[in-house]
């Protein structure tokens, strides 16, 4: 099942900008990681982990399908994963 469209909540968009993450990186992580997604215990159904082009790790939570549209995902929030380096 391929995700073709992304709907960003205001919260997710604000957190993306605040955390200086690129929307394309997040959408790619969701698309490519959807088959291996994890169940999320919080405000969205699914959780994926991704990495930006410069190597910054992040997690994103999202709902899929969005409004019964199997081609759409609704991104709820995103954050950087702090690593010990």
What's the pLDDT at 64? 96
What's the pLDDT at 74? 98
Measured distance CA(10)–CA(33) in Å, rounded: 23
Compute the mean pLDDT over every residue in the chain, rounded to the nearest whole number: 94
In which region does residue 29 sit, left (phi positive, over 0), alpha (psi from -120 to 50) or beta (all else)? alpha
The residues with which 79 forms a beta bridge, in sequence order, are: 59
Topology of the domain covering 5-80: YaeB-like fold (3.30.2310)
Reply yes or no on whether the pLDDT at 59 is more than 70.
yes
More confident residue, 40 or 82: 40
Measured distance CA(12)–CA(15) in Å, rounded: 5
Reply yes or no on whether the pLDDT at 85 is more than 60.
no
Measured distance CA(74)–CA(63) in Å, rounded: 5
Contact 51, 24 (CB under 8 A): no
Reply yes or no on whether the pLDDT at 35 is more than 80.
yes
């Amino acid at each position: 099942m391929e995700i073709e469209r992304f709907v960003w909540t205001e919260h997710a968009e604000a957190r993306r900008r605040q955390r200086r993450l690129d929307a394309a990186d997040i959408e790619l992580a969701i698309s490519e990681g959807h088959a291996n997604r994890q169940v999320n215990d919080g405000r969205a159904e699914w959780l994926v982990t991704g990495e930006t082009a410069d190597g910054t790790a992040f997690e994103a939570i999202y709902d899929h399908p969005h409004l019964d549209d199997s081609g759409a995902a609704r991104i709820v929030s995103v954050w950087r994963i702090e690593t010990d380096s």
